[in-house]
Structure 1
Amino acid sequence: MPVAEPAAAVPLIWQPPAGALWSGRWVDGASSMPVHDPEDGSFLGRVTDAGPAEVDEAVTGVATAIASGESWPAWRRREALDAAAHLLLRRRELLTEVISREGCKTVREADSEVSRAAETLRLSAQQAGCLTGETLPFSDTPRGHDRLGWYTREPVGVVAAITPFNDPLNLVAHKMGPALVGGNGIVLKPAEATPLTALAFAQILLDAGVPGNRFAIVPGTGSGAGRALVGHPLVDLVSFTGGYRTGNEVARTAGAKKTLMELGGNNAVLVLGDADSESAARAVVAGAFGVAGQNCLSVQRVFVDTRIAARFTRDVVKATEALRVGSKADERTDIGPLVNEREARRVEEWVREACESGAEVLAGGRREGAFHWPTVLTGVPADARVMTEEVFGPVLTIEPFDTVDEAVARANDTLYGLQAGVFTAGLEIALDVAQRLRVGAVMVNDSSDFRIDAMPFGGPGRSGIGREGVRYAVEAMTEPKIVAVRRGAIRADS
Structure 2
Amino acid sequence: MKKLFIDGKWVDTGKTLDVNRPYDNSLVDTICVASVEDTEKAIQAAFKAKAIMKNLTAAERGQILDNVAALIDRDKEEIAQIITAEAGKGLLFSRGEAGRTVENFKFAADEARRLGGELIPFDASASGANRFGYYKHYPIGVVGAITPFNFPLNLVAHKVGPAIAAGNAVILKPASSTPLTSVKLVELLLEAGLPPEGINLVVGSGSVVGNAMVESELINMITFTGSPGVGLGIKSKAGIKKVTLELGSNSAAIIHEDADIKYAVPKCVIGGFANSGQVCISIQRIYIHESRYDEFRNMFVDAVKASAYGDPESEKTLVGPMIDENEAARAESWIKAAVAGGAKVAVGGGRKGTMLEPTVLEDVTEDMTVIREEAFAPLVCIMKYKTLDEAIEKVNDSQFGLQAGIFTNDIKNAFTAIDELEVGGVMVNDMPTFRVDQMPYGGLKLSGTGREGPKFAIEEMTELKTVMINLN
- TM score, norm. by length of structure 1: 0.93
Task: Name the counterpart of 2:114.
Answer: 130
User: Structure 1 residue 331: deviation in Å?
Assistant: 1.6
| 2:68 pairs with 1:81 | no
User: Structure 1 residue 83: deviation in Å?
Assistant: 0.6
Do the aligned partners of 1:294 and 1:338 also contact (CA within 8 Å) in 2? Answer: yes
Do the aligned partners of 2:54 and 2:168 also contact (CA within 8 Å) in 1? Answer: no
Distance (Å, rounded) in 1 between the aligned partners of 2:268 and 2:468: 54
Decide which of 160, 177, 201 is 1:193's aligned counterpart: 177
Q: Secondary structure at the match of 1:299?
A: coil
Q: Secondary structure at the match of 1:26?
A: strand
Deviations 1:187-235 (A, max 9, x none): 0100010000011000000000011101111111111111111111100
Distance (Å, rounded) in 2 between the aligned partners of 1:330 and 1:473: 35
Distance (Å, rounded) in 2 between the aligned partners of 1:43 and 1:119: 31
Distance (Å, rounded) in 1 between the aligned partners of 2:148 and 2:297: 32
User: Structure 1 residue 350: deviation in Å?
Assistant: 0.5
Decide which of 34, 40, 44 is 2:18's aligned counterpart: 34
Task: Name the counterpart of 2:290.
Answer: 306
Task: Name the counterpart of 1:145.
Answer: 129
Aligned residues: CA RMSD: 1.3
Task: Name the counterpart of 1:355.
Answer: 339
Do the aligned partners of 2:54 and 2:139 also contact (CA within 8 Å) in 1? Answer: no
Distance (Å, rounded) in 1 between the aligned partners of 2:393 and 2:469: 54
| 2:399 pairs with 1:410 | no
Deviations 1:422-470 (A, max 9, x none): 1111111111122111111111111111001011001110010011111
Task: Name the counterpart of 2:28.
Answer: 44
Greater displacement, 354-363 / 59-68: 59-68
Task: Name the counterpart of 2:461.
Answer: 477
Decide which of 76, 95, 111 is 1:111's aligned counterpart: 95
Distance (Å, rounded) in 1 between the aligned partners of 2:452 and 2:388: 31
User: Structure 1 residue 69: deviation in Å?
Assistant: 7.5
AA partner of residue 335 (structure 1) = V
Distance (Å, rounded) in 2 between the aligned partners of 1:177 and 1:335: 29
Do the aligned partners of 2:53 and 2:169 also contact (CA within 8 Å) in 1? Answer: no
Task: Name the counterpart of 2:162.
Answer: 178
AA partner of residue 106 (structure 2) = R
Distance (Å, rounded) in 2 between the aligned partners of 1:330 and 1:403: 42
| 2:46 pairs with 1:62 | yes
| Change over 3 Å in CA distance of 1:208–1:255 after alignment to 2 | same
Distance (Å, rounded) in 1 between the aligned partners of 2:53 and 2:316: 52
Q: How does 1:76-475 map to 2 (within 5 A)?
A: 76-145=60-129, 147-475=131-459
AA partner of residue 111 (structure 1) = R
Do the aligned partners of 1:104 and 1:166 also contact (CA within 8 Å) in 2? Answer: no
User: Structure 1 residue 129: deviation in Å?
Assistant: 2.2
Instruction: Name stretches of at least 5 consecutive residues in structure 2 with no aligned partner.
Output: none
| Change over 3 Å in CA distance of 1:216–1:406 after alignment to 2 | same
User: Structure 1 residue 130: deviation in Å?
Assistant: 1.9
User: Structure 1 residue 259: deviation in Å?
Assistant: 0.9
Do the aligned partners of 2:227 and 2:247 also contact (CA within 8 Å) in 1? Answer: yes
Decide which of 49, 52, 55 is 1:71's aligned counterpart: 55
Deviations 1:327-350 (A, max 9, x none): 111122221100001100000001
Distance (Å, rounded) in 2 between the aligned partners of 1:395 and 1:406: 23
Distance (Å, rounded) in 1 between the aligned partners of 2:136 and 2:272: 43
Distance (Å, rounded) in 2 between the aligned partners of 1:465 and 1:289: 26
Deviations 1:370-412 (A, max 9, x none): 0000000001121111100110000000001111111111111
- TM score, norm. by length of structure 2: 0.98
Q: Secondary structure at the match of 1:151?
A: strand
User: Structure 1 residue 146: deviation in Å?
Assistant: 5.1
AA partner of residue 129 (structure 1) = R
Instruction: Name stretches of at least 5 consecutive residues in structure 1 with no aligned partner.
Output: 1-14, 489-494
Do the aligned partners of 2:53 and 2:168 also contact (CA within 8 Å) in 1? Answer: no
Greater displacement, 129-138 / 105-114: 129-138
Distance (Å, rounded) in 2 between the aligned partners of 1:111 and 1:459: 27
| Change over 3 Å in CA distance of 1:296–1:352 after alignment to 2 | same
Greater displacement, 81-90 / 403-412: 403-412
Task: Name the counterpart of 1:9.
Answer: none
